[in-house]
Each structure stands twice: as C-alpha cells, then as structure tokens.
Amino acid sequence: MKTKADSVSYAFGADIGNSLKSIEIDYLKSDVIAKAISDVLKGEKSLLEEGQGRAVIQQAIMDVRAKKEAASRAEEDKFFAENAKVAGMKSTAEGIQYLVLSQTEGPKPKSDDEVTVHYKGTLLNGKQFDSSYDRKEPLKLSLGQVIKGWQIGIPLMSKGAKYKFFIPSRLAYGERATGEIPANSTLVFEVELLDIGADGTT
C-alpha cells in the first residue's frame, strides 16, 4: 500500500469481505457490493427502498441456511439407511440406532430418573467432543434434563450395560451449534449405565 489511506481502506474492505465470505452466499457480486459502499460513502440515494435492504439480506441468509440444512438431512438419512445394515444394529421408533456392547439383567431407569453414566461422544467423522472416561469421573444427571436422544436411549439399558447410540440431529442439538458440535450433527455415544437413582439406590 502506498499511503495510510490505501492501507486503511484496504483493511476495511478485507474485513467486509471476510464477513460476507463467512455467510457462504456464493452468488454475491463484488462490483455491486463496491458500488453500494461507494454510494453510502458519497451520500448518494440507495437503489433499494428504505427497509428493503435488510429484508433482502435476511431472506438470503435464510435461503443459505435452508439449503445447508437440507443437504445435512439428506446426508444424515443416507448414513442411517446404511448404518441400519450393520450386524446387530437395532432401531427405536423415534429413529435412534444402537448396538448393545455389553448386556446385563437388572433394573432400567425411567425417563425422569437420575442416573450415573460413563460416556464418550463423537461426531460421525470420529472427532471426540466429550468423554467422562478422559475426565476419570462418571457423570450424574437427570434424564429429564438431557438431549432427547438420551431420554429415549438410556431407559433401554439395564444397570451395568454398555450401549453405542447413533442419534440423529433432530434428537440431539438440531440446528443449534454447541461447543465443538456443529449445527445439524449426528452424534455417536458410547454409554455405560453405572447406577440408577440420585444415590445409586437402584
């Protein structure tokens, strides 16, 4: 850059460009964006009616989000269709798939019970996002306060059993990203049911 004005102007332009790139709208026209910026800086009349610009932006973002969600659902449906063919795979009416890694005879928790579990959670690509095993401390929780997939899956287990659950995004965090879990993610959990009841009384 030859001058301070050049550097500052370019920096602002790059910042705007990065913000627009993050939205992932693939049909934006850089020359039209440049004209809009120029019009605003020069105080010229907008080519869009008052309030129209915000509505156009919101609709474009909604369209991109809907497209990404549709692609995620299609990919997820394909995965579950193939996963159902795995030997020993079972399914619930709600759409959870699971493997019984070790089975026991004994009591099963109710949907509002407190339980103590060891677990490991991964994404479909194998990336681990959480593990009580790594923390070397089991987790005590109320089944009424966890994701729907756990509310459905854990009551299938007897105390001492270990299952592997494949939970569709709609029964996990859905469109909401949380921590290391992206939006619309299928989650895989290995869960070991250690105890039932607040004090392990069952």
Among the listed residues 152, 189, 195, 196, the single catalytic one is 189
Active-site residue, 27 included? no
Active-site residue, 57 included? no
Q: What is the DSSP string of 83-103?
A: HTTSTT-EE-TTS-EEEEEE-
Among the listed residues 119, 163, 165, 166, the single catalytic one is 119
Among the listed residues 79, 80, 129, 133, the single catalytic one is 129
Among the listed residues 163, 165, 166, 173, the single catalytic one is 173
Structure tokens at 119: 């677990």
Among the listed residues 33, 79, 80, 147, the single catalytic one is 147
Q: Which residues contact 149 (CB under 8 A, 6 or more apart)?
A: 96, 165, 167, 168, 171, 172, 187, 189
DSSP category for residue 156:
G
Q: Which residues contact 185 (CB under 8 A, 6 or more apart)?
A: 123, 124, 169, 172, 173
Active-site residue, 173 included? yes
Active-site residue, 133 included? no
Active-site residue, 80 included? no
Active-site residue, 63 included? no
Q: Where in the sequence numbering do the catalytic residues fall?
A: 119, 129-130, 147, 173, 189
